[in-house]
Amino acid sequence: MAPANPPVAPKVAPASQPSGATGVLVLADGTILWGIGYGATGAGVGEICFNTAMTGYQEILTDPSYAGQIITFTFPHIGNVGANPEDMERDKRAAIGCITRELPTQPSNFRSVQTLPDWMADQGLIGLAGIDTRALTRRIRDAGAPNGVVAHNPDGKFDIDELLGQARGWSGLEGLDLAKEVSRTDTGDWTGGAWKLGHGYAGAGGGERPHVVAIDYGAKDNIFRNLVAAGARVTVVPATATLDEVLGHQPDGVFLSNGPGDPAATGDYAVPVIRGLLDRDVPIFGICLGHQMLGIAAGAKTVKMHQGHRGANHPVQRVGGDFADGVVEITSMNHGFAVDAATLPAGVVETHKSLFDGSNCGIAITGKKAFSVQYHPEASPGPQDSFYLFEKFVGGLK
C-alpha cells in the first residue's frame, strides 16, 4: 500500500532533446526521458512498472496481466537470446512496450528465430533504450507507479505537449476492467502439455482425467500446460462465462486464471459466478487475479499496491491452513493489486505471505476445496518451486 504522503520524485533526466534521440518516455508529472527507440513505432499510454527478472522477457511481454502497462526491465541486457514462437505466453502482446538500459544486441542462442526488435515490431510493442533504469526504478519505488507515454519515431520528431496530455489524461488502472479485453472469447479444449528441450510441447495425454474448467481472465498458456501435466483435462472458457455455462461443462474443478486491471472492476461479473461455485462446493484453484477474485467472493477487499510485485525472485512463506509448515518458496510475481489480509473474514485462512512486505499471497476457505495464491506457480519465467500446487489441485479431484 502507498504511504500516506508519498514523496515527489525528482526529475531523472533533462527535458531537452539530445541529438540522435528517436524515443521518449513522458510521465504524467512532467518528467521527460530521452533515448533510442526500437521495435514498433508510434506512442502508447499506460502505467510504468518495473520487473526484476533476469530472463524470460518474451514471456513477460506476452503475459496478458501486463495489459495497460509499460515494463521497465531492471536487468540491463534484454534481448540477448532473441525471440522464438515457443516462448510466447499468448498469441499476441498485451503490454504497451518496454524500457531497457541497453539496446538489444544480436541474439546468441540456437533457439532464436528473430531479433527482439524485429519481433517487437511485429507484435506492436514499443521499445525505448538508453534510459537510466536504476533511477526510473527508484522513482517508482519512492513515489509509486506513474502513468506515462512511451513513443518511438525514427525521425526523432515528437509533440511533447500532446504526449504529456495523453499521460495526464489516462485514467490509470484503478477501476479499470481489462480482463474482457485480453480473455479468449470462445470456449475450447486445451491440448498442449509441458515443454521439454528437443521435444517441444507434450500432448494432452489419454485415459480418464479429472475435468478442469479454466476461466480465462487473461491467462498465460503455461498455466494450462501445467494443469495438463498434473493430469487434468482442461476446457477454457471466457472471463464472462456465466455460472450456468461453467456448470454446463460438468467440471470436477474450476481454475481461476491471472489477468490485468482492477480486481474490483472485474469482480462485478466474476464474483457472482465464483460464489455460485462455492455454494455448490465445486473445488476451486485461483492464481493472481483469480486469487483476488476468490478473496472478494469470500468477503475480503483488494487494494492498489504502491509499486506492485513483478519479478522472478519473490520469497513467499507458507504460514497457514494446509500450508502451515513455514517453508519458503521463491516465486514469480506480476501484480499491482493485492488482497487486504486485514479484511479476511472468519472462515478464510491466510496460507501464504510475502517476505518482502508481508502482503497476502494465499488464502484457503475453511470447509471448502477452494484455495488460491497471488503469485504465478507456472513460472514462465521463474523458479519451479510452486509446481506442486497444480498437482495438489488436480490430485484432489481424482
- pLDDT tens, position by position, 207-246: 799 999 999 999 999 999 999 999 999 999 999 999 999 9
Query: Is the pLDDT score of 351 beyond 70?
Result: yes
Label residue 9 by pLDDT band (50, 70, 90).
very low
- Rounded distance, CA 34 to CA 205, Å? 51
Instruction: Please give the mean pLDDT across all residues of the chain.
Output: 94
Asked if residue 244 and residue 189 are part of one domain, the reply reads yes
Where residue 78 sits, what CATH number does that domain have? Answer: 3.50.30.20
Q: Is 2 within a domain?
A: no
* Single pTM value for the model: 0.94
Query: Is the pLDDT score of 198 beyond 90?
Result: no
Asked if residue 371 and residue 260 are part of one domain, the reply reads yes
Asked if residue 47 and residue 163 are part of one domain, the reply reads yes
Respond yes or no: is residue 376 known to be catalytic: yes
Asked if residue 266 and residue 158 are part of one domain, the reply reads no
Asked if residue 385 and residue 353 are part of one domain, the reply reads yes
Give the per-residue pLDDT at 204: 77
Give the per-residue pLDDT at 65: 97
- pLDDT tens, position by position, 133-145: 999 999 999 999 9
Closest CA to 193 of 145, 225, 233, 169: 225
248-257-49 Cα angle (round to 5): 155
Q: Is 4 within a domain?
A: no
- Rounded distance, CA 358 to CA 352, Å? 9
Label residue 15 by pLDDT band (50, 70, 90).
low
Asked if residue 159 and residue 295 are part of one domain, the reply reads no
**C-beta atoms surrounding 6 within 10 Å:** 11
Query: Is the pLDDT score of 11 beyond 50?
Result: no
Q: Is 36 within a domain?
A: yes
Respond yes or no: is residue 288 known to be catalytic: yes
- pLDDT tens, position by position, 246-296: 999 999 999 999 999 999 999 999 999 999 999 999 999 999 999 999 999
Q: Is 18 within a domain?
A: no
Q: Which of 141, 169, 197 is the endpoint of a domain?
A: 169
Residue 279, amino acid: D
Q: Do the Cβ atoms of 64 and 94 come closer than 8 Å?
A: yes
- Rounded distance, CA 337 to CA 261, Å? 9
Asked if residue 343 and residue 257 are part of one domain, the reply reads yes
Give the per-residue pLDDT at 219: 98
- Rounded distance, CA 237 to CA 15, Å? 47
Asked if residue 375 and residue 239 are part of one domain, the reply reads yes
* The C-alpha cell that represents 379 in the structure block: 513460472
- pLDDT tens, position by position, 20-65: 999 999 999 999 999 999 999 999 999 999 999 999 999 999 999 9
Q: Is 298 within a domain?
A: yes
Count up the domains in the chain and report the number: 2
Beta bridge partners of 364: 349, 371
Strands 328-339 and 302-318: antiparallel
Give the per-residue pLDDT at 165: 97
Measured CA to CA in angstroms, residue 368 lies from 112, 256, 286, 362 at distances of 46, 15, 14, 15
Q: Do the Cβ atoms of 301 and 343 come closer than 8 Å?
A: yes
Q: Is 14 within a domain?
A: no
- pLDDT tens, position by position, 301-350: 999 999 999 999 999 999 999 999 999 999 999 999 999 999 999 999 99
Q: Which residues, 6 or more positions from 188, have their beta carbon under 8 angstroms from its beta carbon?
A: 235, 236
Asked if residue 274 and residue 232 are part of one domain, the reply reads yes
Tally of CA atoms within 13 A in the half-sphere of 363 that contains its CB: 33
Q: Is 9 within a domain?
A: no
Of the listed 291, 309, 335, 376, which one is catalytic?
376
Closest CA to 322 of 286, 368, 279, 384: 368
- Rounded distance, CA 250 to CA 354, Å? 35
Q: Which residues, 6 or more positions from 11, have their beta carbon under 8 angstroms from its beta carbon?
A: 30, 31, 32
Query: Is the pLDDT score of 4 beyond 50?
Result: no
Q: Which of 124, 139, 169 is the endpoint of a domain?
A: 169
Q: Which of 134, 169, 204 is the endpoint of a domain?
A: 169
- Rounded distance, CA 125 to CA 199, Å? 29
Q: Which domain holds residue 38?
A: 23-169
Asked if residue 323 and residue 199 are part of one domain, the reply reads yes
Asked if residue 158 and residue 295 are part of one domain, the reply reads no
Query: Is the pLDDT score of 12 beyond 90?
Result: no
Q: Is 12 within a domain?
A: no
Where residue 237 sits, what CATH number does that domain have? Answer: 3.40.50.880
* The C-alpha cell that represents 155 in the structure block: 525521425
Give the per-residue pLDDT at 66: 97
Of the listed 49, 98, 288, 361, which one is catalytic?
288
Respond yes or no: is residue 49 known to be catalytic: no
- Rounded distance, CA 19 to CA 300, Å? 52
Asked if residue 164 and residue 184 are part of one domain, the reply reads no
